[in-house]
Amino acid sequence: MEERIRLLLADADENYRALLKDFLETSGFEILAAVGNGMEALHAAQQKKPQVVLMELILPGLEGMGLLEHLRREQCAPQVLILSQWTRRDVVREALERGAAYFIPKPCDLPALLGRIRASVSYGADIPPEDNGELQAKRLIAQTLYDLGLSPSSSGTDLAQAMVQILLRNPEAIRQIDHALYRPFLQQGRRDTGYIEHALRYAIREAWTKNATEFQSELFRNTVRRESGSPSNGVFLAVVAEYVRMQLHHQDRQCSALL
C-alpha cells in the first residue's frame, strides 16, 4: 500500500481550514495538524515532521514570511506550499526566495491542488539534502516566470518551469521540442502534445497581454512575433533557460569570490 503524504495545514480562517482538511483527508492525505496560528504551525512542524506544509501567509502569532524562514532552517525541512489571498507580485517573489515550492492564489481549484502537493513531494525526494544547486535553480526559474508575468495558478506556468529545468540539464532538447520537451509530460496525464502546446501558449500570451513588464521587453527584445505580440513557445523556453543559466553562473562566481 502506498504511503500517505503527511501534511500540516496553517490558515487563520477556521472554515476554510476545515474545508481543506476534510478534502485532503478524503483524497488520501494524512493531516498531522490543522492550526490557525503561525507559532502553533512552527511547533507542530518541529514535533510532527510533515512532508508538506500548506499555509496562508496572513497568520497571527508568527506571520507567514517568518514561518517560512523558520521552516527552511529545520533539519528535515518540509516542502512549503503557499495558498494565499495576498498575491502581489513582490509578495510572490519574496515567498519563493524564502523557500516556498509553489505559490497558489486563493480561491484555488482543489483537485489541481492535489497535483501540486504530490509534485512538491516527488521533486523534494529527488534532491539530496547536501545538494542545493537544483533547488536553487528551481526557485530562480519560478521567480523569473513570475517576473515575466506568468500566472502562478496556470498549468502552462507549471509546464514552463519543468521544461526550463530540462533545458538547463540538456540545452539540445530545444531542437526536438515535441519529443524532448512535450512528450515527457504525456505520461503525467497531459492528454496530448496539442494540449501541452496550447497550455504553454496561453500562459505566455496572457502574460504579454495582461501583465506587460519592462523585464519582458528587456529579456526578449526582437524575438516577439508580430502576429501574436508574444514570443513563440520555443523562443520563450530557450531565452528563459539561457537567462537562468547565466544568473546561476553569476551567483556561483560571486560565491567563489567570497571563499
pLDDT of res. 2: 57
Q: Are residues 234 and 110 in the same domain?
A: no
* 136 shares its domain with 259: yes
pLDDT at position 126: 44
CATH classification of the domain holding 208: 1.10.10.10
Residue 227 — very low, low, confident or very high, per pLDDT cuts 50/70/90?
A: low
* pLDDT reading at 146 higher than 50: yes
Q: Model confidence at 234, in pLDDT bands (50, 70, 90)? A: very high
Range of the domain at 49: 1-126
Confidence of residue 51 (pLDDT cuts 50, 70, 90): very high
The predicted model gives 225-234 an average pLDDT of: 80
Q: What is the number of domains present in the chain?
A: 2
pLDDT at 8: 97
Provide the b/e sequence for 208-235 (b: ≥16 CB within 10 Å): beeeeeeebeebbeeebeeeeebbbbeb
Same domain, 96 and 140: no
Domain boundary among 68, 97, 126: 126
243 and 250 in contact (C-beta within 8 Å)? Answer: no
pLDDT beyond 60 at 137: yes
> Prior bond to 111 cis, omega within 30?
no
Q: Which of 126, 152, 185 represents a domain boundary (last residue)?
A: 126
169 and 255 housed in the same domain: yes
| % of the chain with per-residue pLDDT over 90 | 33
Q: Are residues 252 and 139 in the same domain?
A: yes
243 lies in the same domain as 167:
yes
Are residue 248 and residue 160 in the same domain, yes or no? yes
DSSP label of 224? S
Residue 61 belongs to a domain with what CATH number? Answer: 3.40.50.2300
Instruction: Note whether 68 and 43 are within 8 A (CB).
Output: no
**Considering the entire predicted model, what is its pTM?**
0.60
- CA–CA distances in Å: residue 131 to residues 33, 134, 135: 29, 7, 8
Give the pLDDT confidence score for residue 251 in this predicted structure: 62
In a shared domain, residues 106 and 15: yes
pLDDT of 47 reads 93
Looking at the fold, whether 170 and 242 belong to one and the same domain comes out as: yes
CA angle 184, 208, 104 (to 5 degrees): 60
Q: How confident is the model at residue 135 (pLDDT cuts 50, 70, 90)?
A: low
User: What does the radius of gyration of the chain's CA atoms come to, in whole angstroms?
Assistant: 19
Q: Indicate the pLDDT class of residue 156, thresholds 50, 70 and 90.
A: confident
Q: Answer with the one of 126, 142, 165 that is the final residue of a domain.
A: 126
- Give the pLDDT confidence of 20-40 residue by residue, as tens digits: 999 999 999 999 999 999 999
User: What mean pLDDT, rounded, does the chain reach?
Assistant: 83
